[in-house]
Copies of this chain bind each other. A is one copy, B any other.
Amino acid sequence: MPQFLNTADTDFESRFAAFLTTKREDAPDVDAAVAAIIADVRKRGDASVTELTERFDRLALTPDTLAFSEAEIDAECARVPEAERRALEQAAERIRAYHVRQMPEDAQWTDPEGAVLGWRWTPVAAAGLYVPGGLASYPSSVLMNAIPARVAGVERLVVTVPTPDGVVNPLVLLAARIAGVDTVYRIGGAQAIAALAYGTQTIAPVDKITGPGNAYVAAAKRRVFGKVGIDMIAGPSEILVIADADNDPDWIAVDLLSQAEHDESAQSILITPDAAFGQAVAEAVEKRLETLERRAIAGPSWRDFGAVITVRDLDEAAALSDRIAPEHLELCVADTDALSAKIRHAGAIFLGKWTPEAIGDYVGGPNHVLPTARSARFSSGLSVLDFLKRTTLARMSPGALAAIGPAAETLAKSESLEAHGLSVRARLDRLNEETS
Protein backbone atom coordinates (compact mmCIF):
# COMPACT_ATOMS: atom_id res chain seq x y z
CA MET A 1 0.00 0.00 0.00
CA PRO A 2 1.30 3.48 -0.77
CA GLN A 3 1.81 5.86 2.09
CA PHE A 4 -1.09 8.08 3.06
CA LEU A 5 0.09 11.29 4.66
CA ASN A 6 -1.82 14.33 5.80
CA THR A 7 -0.22 17.62 6.72
CA ALA A 8 -2.86 17.99 9.43
CA ASP A 9 -1.52 14.93 11.26
CA THR A 10 0.74 15.65 14.19
CA ASP A 11 3.37 13.18 13.01
CA PHE A 12 3.35 14.52 9.44
CA GLU A 13 6.71 16.27 9.55
CA SER A 14 8.60 13.25 10.81
CA ARG A 15 6.82 10.90 8.42
CA PHE A 16 7.42 13.22 5.46
CA ALA A 17 11.07 13.66 6.35
CA ALA A 18 11.47 9.89 6.53
CA PHE A 19 9.64 9.54 3.23
CA LEU A 20 11.97 12.07 1.57
CA THR A 21 15.07 10.17 2.61
CA THR A 22 13.79 6.69 1.79
CA LYS A 23 16.45 4.95 -0.23
CA ARG A 24 14.83 3.55 -3.32
CA GLU A 25 17.81 1.98 -4.97
CA ASP A 26 20.61 -0.13 -3.65
CA ALA A 27 23.28 0.81 -6.12
CA PRO A 28 25.67 -2.15 -6.15
CA ASP A 29 29.30 -1.20 -5.64
CA VAL A 30 30.72 -2.02 -9.03
CA ASP A 31 33.43 0.61 -8.94
CA ALA A 32 36.38 -1.81 -8.74
CA ALA A 33 35.06 -3.90 -11.62
CA VAL A 34 34.48 -0.74 -13.66
CA ALA A 35 37.96 0.59 -12.93
CA ALA A 36 39.43 -2.68 -14.22
CA ILE A 37 37.33 -2.55 -17.39
CA ILE A 38 38.33 1.04 -18.12
CA ALA A 39 42.01 0.26 -17.56
CA ASP A 40 41.80 -2.73 -19.87
CA VAL A 41 40.07 -0.79 -22.65
CA ARG A 42 42.67 1.98 -22.36
CA LYS A 43 45.44 -0.59 -22.62
CA ARG A 44 44.13 -3.00 -25.23
CA GLY A 45 41.55 -0.98 -27.15
CA ASP A 46 39.45 -2.92 -29.64
CA ALA A 47 40.68 -6.29 -28.37
CA SER A 48 39.38 -5.48 -24.90
CA VAL A 49 36.07 -4.12 -26.16
CA THR A 50 35.36 -7.14 -28.35
CA GLU A 51 36.31 -9.62 -25.63
CA LEU A 52 34.11 -7.88 -23.07
CA THR A 53 31.24 -7.73 -25.55
CA GLU A 54 31.57 -11.45 -26.17
CA ARG A 55 31.58 -12.10 -22.45
CA PHE A 56 28.70 -9.83 -21.41
CA ASP A 57 26.54 -9.71 -24.55
CA ARG A 58 27.39 -13.14 -26.01
CA LEU A 59 28.20 -11.44 -29.28
CA ALA A 60 31.37 -11.98 -31.30
CA LEU A 61 32.50 -8.77 -32.97
CA THR A 62 35.60 -7.73 -34.86
CA PRO A 63 36.87 -4.17 -35.24
CA ASP A 64 35.10 -4.18 -38.63
CA THR A 65 31.74 -5.09 -37.15
CA LEU A 66 31.83 -2.89 -34.03
CA ALA A 67 29.67 -0.40 -35.88
CA PHE A 68 26.48 -1.14 -37.74
CA SER A 69 26.98 -0.77 -41.49
CA GLU A 70 24.69 1.51 -43.47
CA ALA A 71 23.20 -1.59 -45.10
CA GLU A 72 22.44 -3.13 -41.73
CA ILE A 73 20.79 0.07 -40.56
CA ASP A 74 18.80 0.26 -43.80
CA ALA A 75 17.57 -3.29 -43.30
CA GLU A 76 16.60 -2.71 -39.67
CA CYS A 77 14.88 0.59 -40.42
CA ALA A 78 12.86 -1.06 -43.17
CA ARG A 79 11.31 -3.33 -40.52
CA VAL A 80 9.75 -0.40 -38.66
CA PRO A 81 6.01 -0.06 -39.28
CA GLU A 82 4.95 3.13 -41.01
CA ALA A 83 2.93 4.45 -38.04
CA GLU A 84 5.93 4.20 -35.77
CA ARG A 85 8.19 5.83 -38.31
CA ARG A 86 5.77 8.75 -38.67
CA ALA A 87 5.45 9.07 -34.89
CA LEU A 88 9.22 9.18 -34.51
CA GLU A 89 9.49 11.81 -37.22
CA GLN A 90 6.78 13.94 -35.65
CA ALA A 91 8.49 13.64 -32.28
CA ALA A 92 11.88 14.54 -33.76
CA GLU A 93 10.47 17.61 -35.47
CA ARG A 94 8.86 18.88 -32.28
CA ILE A 95 11.92 18.18 -30.16
CA ARG A 96 14.08 20.01 -32.70
CA ALA A 97 11.72 23.00 -32.80
CA TYR A 98 11.86 23.32 -29.01
CA HIS A 99 15.61 22.91 -28.71
CA VAL A 100 16.47 25.34 -31.50
CA ARG A 101 15.09 28.05 -29.21
CA GLN A 102 17.66 27.15 -26.55
CA MET A 103 20.62 28.29 -28.67
CA PRO A 104 22.26 30.99 -26.55
CA GLU A 105 23.49 34.30 -27.88
CA ASP A 106 27.06 35.45 -28.12
CA ALA A 107 27.74 38.83 -26.58
CA GLN A 108 30.21 41.67 -26.94
CA TRP A 109 30.22 45.15 -25.49
CA THR A 110 32.58 47.98 -24.61
CA ASP A 111 32.54 49.04 -21.00
CA PRO A 112 32.98 52.58 -19.64
CA GLU A 113 36.76 52.08 -19.25
CA GLY A 114 37.10 51.10 -22.90
CA ALA A 115 37.55 47.39 -22.32
CA VAL A 116 35.85 45.18 -24.90
CA LEU A 117 34.26 42.25 -23.11
CA GLY A 118 32.06 39.35 -24.12
CA TRP A 119 31.79 35.65 -24.73
CA ARG A 120 30.99 33.23 -27.46
CA TRP A 121 29.52 29.76 -27.56
CA THR A 122 30.93 26.88 -29.59
CA PRO A 123 29.83 23.25 -29.86
CA VAL A 124 31.84 20.32 -28.59
CA ALA A 125 33.48 18.58 -31.52
CA ALA A 126 32.27 15.05 -30.81
CA ALA A 127 29.62 13.52 -28.58
CA GLY A 128 28.74 9.95 -27.68
CA LEU A 129 25.27 8.90 -26.63
CA TYR A 130 24.85 5.81 -24.52
CA VAL A 131 21.65 3.87 -25.19
CA PRO A 132 20.83 0.95 -22.92
CA GLY A 133 20.01 -2.43 -24.41
CA GLY A 134 17.14 -4.74 -23.59
CA LEU A 135 13.92 -3.51 -21.99
CA ALA A 136 15.08 0.09 -21.51
CA SER A 137 16.33 0.55 -25.08
CA TYR A 138 14.13 3.51 -25.85
CA PRO A 139 14.11 5.17 -29.27
CA SER A 140 12.67 8.29 -27.63
CA SER A 141 15.86 8.62 -25.59
CA VAL A 142 17.92 8.54 -28.77
CA LEU A 143 15.95 11.51 -30.07
CA MET A 144 16.16 13.36 -26.75
CA ASN A 145 19.95 13.00 -26.58
CA ALA A 146 20.91 13.28 -30.23
CA ILE A 147 18.75 16.19 -31.35
CA PRO A 148 20.11 18.74 -28.84
CA ALA A 149 23.63 17.70 -29.86
CA ARG A 150 22.84 18.24 -33.53
CA VAL A 151 21.11 21.54 -32.86
CA ALA A 152 24.20 22.65 -30.93
CA GLY A 153 26.32 21.91 -33.99
CA VAL A 154 28.24 18.86 -32.74
CA GLU A 155 30.15 17.55 -35.75
CA ARG A 156 30.58 13.90 -34.88
CA LEU A 157 27.76 12.19 -33.08
CA VAL A 158 27.95 8.50 -32.23
CA VAL A 159 25.70 6.10 -30.36
CA THR A 160 26.67 3.01 -28.40
CA VAL A 161 23.95 0.46 -27.77
CA PRO A 162 24.57 -3.05 -26.50
CA THR A 163 22.86 -5.78 -28.54
CA PRO A 164 22.82 -8.83 -26.24
CA ASP A 165 22.82 -12.01 -28.35
CA GLY A 166 22.82 -9.72 -31.36
CA VAL A 167 19.28 -8.51 -30.75
CA VAL A 168 18.75 -4.88 -31.69
CA ASN A 169 15.70 -2.65 -31.48
CA PRO A 170 15.14 -1.40 -35.05
CA LEU A 171 13.41 1.70 -33.68
CA VAL A 172 16.64 2.70 -31.95
CA LEU A 173 18.48 2.60 -35.26
CA LEU A 174 15.70 4.49 -37.00
CA ALA A 175 15.69 7.13 -34.27
CA ALA A 176 19.46 7.47 -34.62
CA ARG A 177 19.09 7.95 -38.35
CA ILE A 178 16.27 10.49 -38.01
CA ALA A 179 18.29 12.42 -35.45
CA GLY A 180 21.36 12.47 -37.69
CA VAL A 181 23.67 10.17 -35.72
CA ASP A 182 26.84 9.37 -37.68
CA THR A 183 27.78 5.95 -36.31
CA VAL A 184 26.12 3.36 -34.08
CA TYR A 185 28.40 0.94 -32.22
CA ARG A 186 26.91 -2.29 -30.90
CA ILE A 187 28.68 -2.17 -27.58
CA GLY A 188 27.54 -1.34 -24.07
CA GLY A 189 28.47 -1.30 -20.41
CA ALA A 190 31.55 0.27 -18.89
CA GLN A 191 33.55 -0.84 -21.92
CA ALA A 192 31.45 1.39 -24.19
CA ILE A 193 31.96 4.39 -21.89
CA ALA A 194 35.71 3.69 -21.77
CA ALA A 195 35.90 3.41 -25.56
CA LEU A 196 34.02 6.70 -25.98
CA ALA A 197 36.19 8.51 -23.44
CA TYR A 198 39.61 7.17 -24.40
CA GLY A 199 39.10 5.85 -27.90
CA THR A 200 40.31 2.59 -29.41
CA GLN A 201 41.96 1.78 -32.72
CA THR A 202 38.50 1.84 -34.33
CA ILE A 203 36.48 4.21 -32.18
CA ALA A 204 37.66 7.81 -32.04
CA PRO A 205 37.29 9.40 -28.60
CA VAL A 206 34.51 11.91 -27.98
CA ASP A 207 34.43 15.02 -25.82
CA LYS A 208 31.06 14.54 -24.16
CA ILE A 209 29.08 11.46 -23.14
CA THR A 210 25.38 11.52 -22.33
CA GLY A 211 22.64 8.99 -21.83
CA PRO A 212 21.29 6.69 -19.14
CA GLY A 213 22.61 3.28 -18.17
CA ASN A 214 22.87 0.67 -15.45
CA ALA A 215 25.13 0.79 -12.40
CA TYR A 216 28.20 -0.11 -14.46
CA VAL A 217 27.54 2.64 -16.95
CA ALA A 218 26.88 5.16 -14.18
CA ALA A 219 30.10 4.23 -12.36
CA ALA A 220 32.07 4.42 -15.60
CA LYS A 221 30.65 7.85 -16.42
CA ARG A 222 31.60 9.07 -12.96
CA ARG A 223 35.14 7.76 -13.49
CA VAL A 224 35.71 9.35 -16.91
CA PHE A 225 34.22 12.68 -15.79
CA GLY A 226 36.97 15.25 -16.28
CA LYS A 227 38.59 13.39 -19.17
CA VAL A 228 35.32 14.02 -21.02
CA GLY A 229 32.15 15.84 -20.10
CA ILE A 230 29.18 13.81 -18.89
CA ASP A 231 25.55 14.56 -18.27
CA MET A 232 23.93 13.81 -14.95
CA ILE A 233 23.88 10.36 -13.37
CA ALA A 234 20.22 9.46 -13.76
CA GLY A 235 18.32 7.68 -11.01
CA PRO A 236 14.90 5.99 -11.12
CA SER A 237 12.08 8.06 -12.54
CA GLU A 238 9.65 10.11 -10.46
CA ILE A 239 6.37 11.92 -10.87
CA LEU A 240 4.55 14.25 -8.56
CA VAL A 241 0.97 15.17 -9.41
CA ILE A 242 -0.73 18.04 -7.63
CA ALA A 243 -4.44 17.66 -8.32
CA ASP A 244 -7.61 19.09 -6.88
CA ALA A 245 -10.91 17.21 -6.72
CA ASP A 246 -11.99 18.55 -10.11
CA ASN A 247 -10.18 15.75 -11.94
CA ASP A 248 -11.01 12.29 -13.15
CA PRO A 249 -9.34 9.97 -10.59
CA ASP A 250 -8.59 7.48 -13.34
CA TRP A 251 -6.60 10.01 -15.37
CA ILE A 252 -4.46 10.83 -12.37
CA ALA A 253 -4.11 7.12 -11.64
CA VAL A 254 -2.69 6.31 -15.07
CA ASP A 255 -0.42 9.34 -14.86
CA LEU A 256 1.00 8.00 -11.59
CA LEU A 257 1.35 4.54 -13.11
CA SER A 258 3.13 5.91 -16.17
CA GLN A 259 6.18 6.48 -14.00
CA ALA A 260 5.64 3.51 -11.71
CA GLU A 261 5.77 1.17 -14.70
CA HIS A 262 9.33 2.23 -15.56
CA ASP A 263 11.03 0.59 -12.67
CA GLU A 264 10.29 -0.96 -9.28
CA SER A 265 12.36 1.89 -7.81
CA ALA A 266 10.34 4.59 -9.56
CA GLN A 267 8.25 6.89 -7.38
CA SER A 268 4.78 8.32 -7.93
CA ILE A 269 3.27 10.84 -5.55
CA LEU A 270 -0.09 12.59 -5.45
CA ILE A 271 -0.59 15.75 -3.46
CA THR A 272 -4.19 16.88 -3.15
CA PRO A 273 -6.17 19.24 -0.98
CA ASP A 274 -9.02 16.71 -0.97
CA ALA A 275 -8.49 13.51 1.04
CA ALA A 276 -11.49 11.79 -0.54
CA PHE A 277 -10.11 12.52 -4.00
CA GLY A 278 -6.78 11.06 -2.94
CA GLN A 279 -8.57 7.93 -1.81
CA ALA A 280 -10.42 7.75 -5.12
CA VAL A 281 -7.16 7.99 -7.05
CA ALA A 282 -5.59 5.25 -4.94
CA GLU A 283 -8.57 3.05 -5.70
CA ALA A 284 -8.30 3.85 -9.41
CA VAL A 285 -4.62 2.88 -9.31
CA GLU A 286 -5.48 -0.47 -7.80
CA LYS A 287 -8.09 -1.04 -10.45
CA ARG A 288 -5.70 -0.21 -13.28
CA LEU A 289 -3.07 -2.42 -11.69
CA GLU A 290 -5.35 -5.42 -12.09
CA THR A 291 -4.82 -5.40 -15.84
CA LEU A 292 -1.73 -3.30 -16.51
CA GLU A 293 0.83 -5.16 -18.62
CA ARG A 294 3.69 -4.05 -16.42
CA ARG A 295 1.81 -4.52 -13.13
CA ALA A 296 4.67 -6.66 -11.82
CA ILE A 297 6.83 -3.53 -11.98
CA ALA A 298 4.30 -0.76 -11.40
CA GLY A 299 2.64 -2.54 -8.47
CA PRO A 300 5.73 -2.81 -6.26
CA SER A 301 6.81 0.73 -7.22
CA TRP A 302 3.46 2.16 -6.17
CA ARG A 303 3.13 0.11 -3.02
CA ASP A 304 6.71 0.55 -1.82
CA PHE A 305 7.41 4.13 -2.82
CA GLY A 306 4.11 5.73 -3.82
CA ALA A 307 2.36 8.28 -1.66
CA VAL A 308 -0.88 10.20 -1.38
CA ILE A 309 -0.42 13.40 0.59
CA THR A 310 -3.39 15.46 1.70
CA VAL A 311 -2.69 19.16 2.23
CA ARG A 312 -4.66 22.05 3.64
CA ASP A 313 -4.22 24.18 0.52
CA LEU A 314 -2.17 24.59 -2.62
CA ASP A 315 0.43 26.78 -0.92
CA GLU A 316 1.28 23.81 1.23
CA ALA A 317 1.35 21.67 -1.89
CA ALA A 318 3.88 23.98 -3.53
CA ALA A 319 6.10 24.00 -0.47
CA LEU A 320 6.11 20.21 -0.24
CA SER A 321 6.75 19.95 -3.96
CA ASP A 322 9.88 22.07 -3.60
CA ARG A 323 11.13 19.79 -0.86
CA ILE A 324 10.59 16.81 -3.14
CA ALA A 325 12.10 18.67 -6.15
CA PRO A 326 10.42 16.23 -8.52
CA GLU A 327 11.72 15.19 -11.92
CA HIS A 328 8.21 15.46 -13.40
CA LEU A 329 5.50 17.67 -11.92
CA GLU A 330 1.90 17.68 -13.15
CA LEU A 331 -0.34 20.52 -12.04
CA CYS A 332 -4.00 19.56 -12.41
CA VAL A 333 -5.69 22.46 -10.63
CA ALA A 334 -7.94 25.33 -11.66
CA ASP A 335 -5.25 28.03 -11.72
CA THR A 336 -2.14 26.24 -12.93
CA ASP A 337 -0.21 29.44 -13.58
CA ALA A 338 -0.69 30.67 -10.03
CA LEU A 339 0.46 27.34 -8.63
CA SER A 340 3.34 27.05 -11.10
CA ALA A 341 4.62 30.46 -10.06
CA LYS A 342 5.06 29.16 -6.52
CA ILE A 343 7.20 26.19 -7.63
CA ARG A 344 10.94 26.56 -7.72
CA HIS A 345 12.54 23.12 -7.91
CA ALA A 346 11.26 20.79 -10.62
CA GLY A 347 12.76 19.28 -13.76
CA ALA A 348 9.67 19.71 -15.93
CA ILE A 349 6.21 21.04 -15.23
CA PHE A 350 3.12 19.80 -17.07
CA LEU A 351 0.34 22.31 -16.85
CA GLY A 352 -3.30 21.34 -16.75
CA LYS A 353 -5.21 18.15 -17.10
CA TRP A 354 -4.73 17.91 -20.88
CA THR A 355 -0.98 17.53 -20.40
CA PRO A 356 -0.18 14.05 -19.16
CA GLU A 357 3.50 13.59 -18.41
CA ALA A 358 3.79 10.98 -21.17
CA ILE A 359 3.36 13.75 -23.74
CA GLY A 360 6.65 15.12 -22.49
CA ASP A 361 8.32 11.74 -22.80
CA TYR A 362 7.77 11.70 -26.52
CA VAL A 363 6.36 14.57 -28.45
CA GLY A 364 5.87 17.64 -26.28
CA GLY A 365 9.16 19.18 -27.35
CA PRO A 366 11.05 19.72 -24.05
CA ASN A 367 13.68 17.17 -23.19
CA HIS A 368 12.73 14.06 -21.24
CA VAL A 369 16.22 13.65 -19.75
CA LEU A 370 15.58 15.31 -16.41
CA PRO A 371 17.14 15.56 -12.98
CA THR A 372 16.08 12.81 -10.56
CA ALA A 373 16.54 12.11 -6.85
CA ARG A 374 15.96 15.73 -5.75
CA SER A 375 18.73 17.00 -8.05
CA ALA A 376 16.28 19.46 -9.64
CA ARG A 377 17.40 21.59 -6.67
CA PHE A 378 20.63 22.26 -8.56
CA SER A 379 20.47 20.85 -12.08
CA SER A 380 18.44 21.01 -15.25
CA GLY A 381 17.22 18.69 -17.93
CA LEU A 382 19.39 17.96 -20.94
CA SER A 383 19.55 20.84 -23.38
CA VAL A 384 21.50 22.35 -26.22
CA LEU A 385 23.73 23.98 -23.59
CA ASP A 386 25.06 20.55 -22.63
CA PHE A 387 26.70 20.32 -26.04
CA LEU A 388 28.10 23.86 -26.08
CA LYS A 389 30.79 25.60 -24.13
CA ARG A 390 31.48 29.27 -23.63
CA THR A 391 34.76 31.09 -24.20
CA THR A 392 35.06 34.45 -22.46
CA LEU A 393 36.67 37.33 -24.33
CA ALA A 394 38.46 40.41 -23.06
CA ARG A 395 40.42 43.14 -24.82
CA MET A 396 41.99 46.02 -22.92
CA SER A 397 42.68 49.31 -24.61
CA PRO A 398 45.69 51.18 -23.21
CA GLY A 399 43.20 53.43 -21.46
CA ALA A 400 41.33 50.52 -19.93
CA LEU A 401 44.57 48.99 -18.72
CA ALA A 402 45.56 52.30 -17.15
CA ALA A 403 42.20 52.48 -15.40
CA ILE A 404 42.03 48.96 -13.97
CA GLY A 405 45.60 47.64 -14.16
CA PRO A 406 46.69 49.19 -10.86
CA ALA A 407 43.97 47.32 -8.97
CA ALA A 408 45.11 44.05 -10.59
CA GLU A 409 48.67 44.79 -9.57
CA THR A 410 47.61 45.52 -6.00
CA LEU A 411 45.64 42.29 -5.73
CA ALA A 412 48.44 40.24 -7.33
CA LYS A 413 50.85 41.54 -4.73
CA SER A 414 48.40 40.78 -1.94
CA GLU A 415 48.26 37.20 -3.19
CA SER A 416 52.07 37.02 -3.44
CA LEU A 417 51.83 36.41 -7.17
CA GLU A 418 54.61 38.70 -8.30
CA ALA A 419 54.71 37.72 -11.99
CA HIS A 420 50.98 38.45 -12.25
CA GLY A 421 51.70 41.97 -11.06
CA LEU A 422 54.79 42.33 -13.26
CA SER A 423 52.83 41.42 -16.37
CA VAL A 424 50.56 44.38 -15.69
CA ARG A 425 53.34 46.67 -14.44
CA ALA A 426 55.51 46.17 -17.56
CA ARG A 427 52.69 47.52 -19.68
CA LEU A 428 51.71 50.33 -17.31
CA ASP A 429 55.34 51.50 -17.29
CA ARG A 430 55.33 51.64 -21.09
CA LEU A 431 52.15 53.69 -21.04
CA ASN A 432 53.71 56.09 -18.55
CA GLU A 433 56.82 56.44 -20.72
CA GLU A 434 54.71 57.15 -23.76
CA THR A 435 52.63 59.80 -22.12
CA SER A 436 55.51 61.51 -20.30
Contacts and interface: CB of A to CB of B under 8 A. Distances in A.
Interface of A: 83-84, 86-88, 90-91, 94, 97-98, 101-102, 104, 107, 109, 111, 115-117, 119, 122, 124-125, 135, 138-140, 171, 207-208, 222, 225-226, 228-229, 232-233, 248, 250-251, 254-255, 257-258, 260-262, 288, 292-294, 298, 336, 340, 343-367, 370-371, 373, 375-381, 383, 385, 389-398, 400-401, 404-408, 410-412, 414-424, 426-427, 430
A261 B423 CA distance: 12
A354 B397 contact: yes
A92 to B, nearest CB: 10
Contact of A343 (B359, B390, B391): B391
A52 to B, nearest CB: 24
B348 A411 contact: no
A364 B356 CA distance: 48
Contacts of A233: 225-226
Contacts of A377: 124-125, 207, 389
Given A345-B389, A358-B419, 12 more contacts: A91-B407, A94-B111, A125-B377, A226-B375, A229-B379, A248-B426, A294-B419, A349-B393, A359-B396, A364-B404, A366-B393, A370-B392
Copies assembled: 2
Contacts of A116: 351
B258 A394 contact: no
A225 to B, nearest CB: 7
A417 B351 contact: no
Which 4 pairs, one residue from A and one from B, show the smallest C-beta to C-beta distance? A229-B378, A366-B392, A351-B395, A87-B407
Given A349-B394, A408-B363, A117 B139 contact: no
A361 B424 CA distance: 11
Nearest to A376: B389
Given A87-B410, A411-B88, A418-B261, A423 B124 contact: no
A352 B139 CA distance: 49
A258 B419 contact: yes
Contact of A366 (B98, B119, B124, B412): B119
14 contacts: A111-B365, A122-B344, A251-B423, A254-B419, A254-B423, A336-B395, A348-B392, A348-B393, A353-B427, A355-B396, A359-B405, A359-B424, A363-B407, A363-B411
